[in-house]
Structure 1
Amino acid sequence: MTLDQPNVAAFDPVLADEVRRGLTSQPKRLSSRFFYDDEGSRLFSEIMHLPEYYLTRSEYEILDTNKEQLLSLFAADNRPFNLIELGAGDGLKTKLLLSHFVEQGARFTYVPVDISAAALDGLTADLRQKLPALAVQPQLGDYTEALAQLTHQATEGADAPRQVVLFLGSNIGNFAPADAVAFYAQISQQLQPGDLVLTGFDLQKHPAVIHAAYNDREGLTKAFNLNLLRRLNRDLDADFNLAAFDHYELYDPESGEARSYLISQTKQTVNIRALDMTVPFAYGDFIHTEISRKFTRDGIEQLASQTGFALTQWLTDCRHYFADVVYRKS
């Protein structure tokens, strides 16, 4: 493997660094944060509508059933609030809340944050057409940077907006345990006492239900994972042959982790010209692309206590597959 350091100024330096480190590590790995280019965001929107993918329907049920309760919590003491959604995507579930909040005359601004410009533009245009009374301030970029910028701009005083952070869809499951603690500690540092975080957590359940959610019969999850290689071909001038890789998923009920891999189906060598490196693959070699952790209530409460939050609301769907949990900054 060639490890010379070329000039990659024309390429995304974060992506370049992650790919260099990930594909020279053992085992090979690529971060799931890079799934969501425009095509990845489009594919994930389709995945959310699959019959096997229970997560979206479960969380939609929770938000629909509890939208009045959530508004009462967010707008407590008649304070205005900023609704900051990390990883907004197409806003499918959030639109349900937004419509209700606007109908009730709530004083709030919706701040969708996403790394996909296409997803953000589409969401903003749709909201401005369907909810013209809604104040929308889209933010393109990384979660933590956008949140730091927004909270830095926040005003103080009795009528200052409460910061309400949304992190839906069990995106927190993509973090390793230590990374989840670090991420919520970062969020906590940006918030004031009384600010809120609403997080979606996929709960532990029968392994067959979880396994099916990541192995859909239509092959959309496979296409979603393989699109990561297509992105490297485009953005880093690589030559991955997508037909030479397969998608493999497993769920371990002992650890509560669903893991995604791309498996090399032949002996091959991939060139990543922007990084001046070659990556050899033997038959059966794999790239670990994603972890999706499933949670227990004890684990969710522990995450709050470790990061400066108190668990305020615990909301589940009728099957107890999923939980939306409100943390309050202590």
Structure 2
Amino acid sequence: MPLESRSSSVQSRPVNAAEVVDADIRSGAIIVLDHSHAPATPEGAEVIQGLSKTPKQLSPKYFYDDRGSQLFEDICQLPEYYPTRTEAWILETYATEIAAITDSHELIELGSGSSTKTRLLLDAYRSLWADRPDTCHYLPVDISGGILHSSVVQLQSQYPEFWIQGLLGTYDQALDYLAHSNERSRLLFFLGSSMGNFSPADFNSFADRVAQSLKPGDYFLLGVDLEKDLEILKAAYNDAQGVTAAFNLNMLAHLNRRFGGNFDLDAFSHEAVYNTADSQIEMYLHCHRDCRVQFDRLDFAVNFQAGESILTEISRKFRLDRLPQQLAERGLTTVKTWSDPQQWFGLLLCQATTS
């Protein structure tokens, strides 16, 4: 899960994403990305395809309406959920070193959320460039207009010496945009072990796209969750407060609103299991009774049988000693790695060698 911890001001008032994004677009604070350089995919086609498979599956991107993004923020505060605080410790300990090595002038964060951990890097760059004001650009990328608006407003106030502009869209849209606008030295970072949500093939494809969005010498900072004790993993995705369950079920509510669906959320429950063979957590929505779901805006219906499940997300766990070779094959050479004392989480700083 691409996760950031939540600052209290994000939850101070409800945000109408459409209104704030429209205002931010007019002011230039947010750019809405599109797929002008990519093949068009009919809206909802991915839903139809995924629910027509055996077993059924849905893309994790449908977690992310504004409520889903806020639930992500809540998850990061949970005592069971170690990745956020562990990654934050690594960043707090090594941010100054990361800034000194990279000395980049444009920072881009994929899946920025509230950008809370990012402030550790921004503080390090602020110190590095104390005698060079207005040197740094920061571009947070997120799919939630409400969260992105809140983050941009806060950061513009807290870091007036930074040029800050939000990019509203998906990872693919952001990488496409970056590939067509690459003039400054860059650090692209992807925290929260979000690359763990990709299958091995998709991981390689995404790493290829990252390398293509950078010019030789640019940097890529990757956060990854590492293999560890099974009980720690299980607890992280099955929290006692049920926040992860609410986050998982919210996907169905999002699909109902977006595509005119009639999922009965009471017919489904959250399930998270660890697949030892593939070293990954798998999140499912388990159906408890026979039902038929209709999507009016997609002209599509699908039947569910009691006991059937929908795969909504995988979260792969990695070994820090194996990833550098895999990334090198994609044109990303690992410069340095960092971890915490328990070896629960890792950061890899890579440099692009091809474009």
Identity %: 39
Cα displacement (A) at 1:74: 1.6
Match of 1:158 in 2: none
1:97 pairs with one of 121, 133, 140: 121
Pair 239,296 (structure 1): closer, same or farther in 2 beyond 3 Å: same
Output the CA distance in 2 between the equivalents of 1:14 and 1:219: 34
Cα displacement (A) at 1:260: 0.3
Pair 15,250 (structure 1): closer, same or farther in 2 beyond 3 Å: farther
2:79 pairs with one of 35, 44, 51: 51
**1:241 is aligned with what amino acid?**
D
Output the CA distance in 2 between the equivalents of 1:33 and 1:57: 24
Match of 1:9 in 2: none
Task: Decide whether the 8 Å contact of 1:207 with 1:253 is kept in 2.
Answer: no
Cα displacement (A) at 1:99: 2.3
**2:166 is aligned with what amino acid?**
P
Cα displacement (A) at 1:104: 3.3
1:143 pairs with one of 165, 168, 171: 171
Q: Secondary structure at the match of 1:234?
A: helix
**Alpha-carbon displacement from aligned partner over 1:70-105 (angstroms, at most 9, x marks no partner):** 110121xxxx52101011111111012112322332
Output the CA distance in 1 between the equivalents of 2:352 and 2:155: 29
Output the CA distance in 1 between the equivalents of 2:170 and 2:42: 11
Q: Secondary structure at the match of 1:312?
A: strand
Cα displacement (A) at 1:243: 0.9
Output the CA distance in 2 between the equivalents of 1:15 and 1:26: 22
Task: Decide whether the 8 Å contact of 1:249 with 1:260 is kept in 2.
Answer: yes
**Residue 199 of structure 2 is aligned to residue 171 of structure 1:** no
Task: Decide whether the 8 Å contact of 2:178 with 2:213 is kept in 1.
Answer: no
Q: Hey, which bits of structure 1, 4+ residues long, moved more than 3 A?
A: 12-15
User: Across the two proteins, how many residue pairs are aligned to each other?
Assistant: 310
Output the CA distance in 1 between the equivalents of 2:231 and 2:168: 37
TM-score by length of 2: 0.84
Output the CA distance in 2 between the equivalents of 1:14 and 1:200: 32
Alignment of 1:1-330 (within 5 A): 15-75=43-103, 80-105=104-129, 107-155=135-183, 161-330=184-353
**RMSD between superposed Cα atoms in Å:** 1.5
Q: Which moved more, 1:252-261 or 1:285-294?
A: 252-261
Match of 1:3 in 2: none
Task: Decide whether the 8 Å contact of 2:335 with 2:351 is kept in 1.
Answer: yes
**1:174 is aligned with what amino acid?**
N
Cα displacement (A) at 1:37: 1.2
**Alpha-carbon displacement from aligned partner over 1:46-70 (angstroms, at most 9, x marks no partner):** 0011000000001000000001101
**Alpha-carbon displacement from aligned partner over 1:8-58 (angstroms, at most 9, x marks no partner):** xxxx96550110101111110001122111111000000011000000001
Q: Secondary structure at the match of 2:77?
A: coil
Output the CA distance in 2 between the equivalents of 1:191 and 1:29: 32
Ranges in structure 2 where 5+ consecutive residues have no aligned partner = 1-39
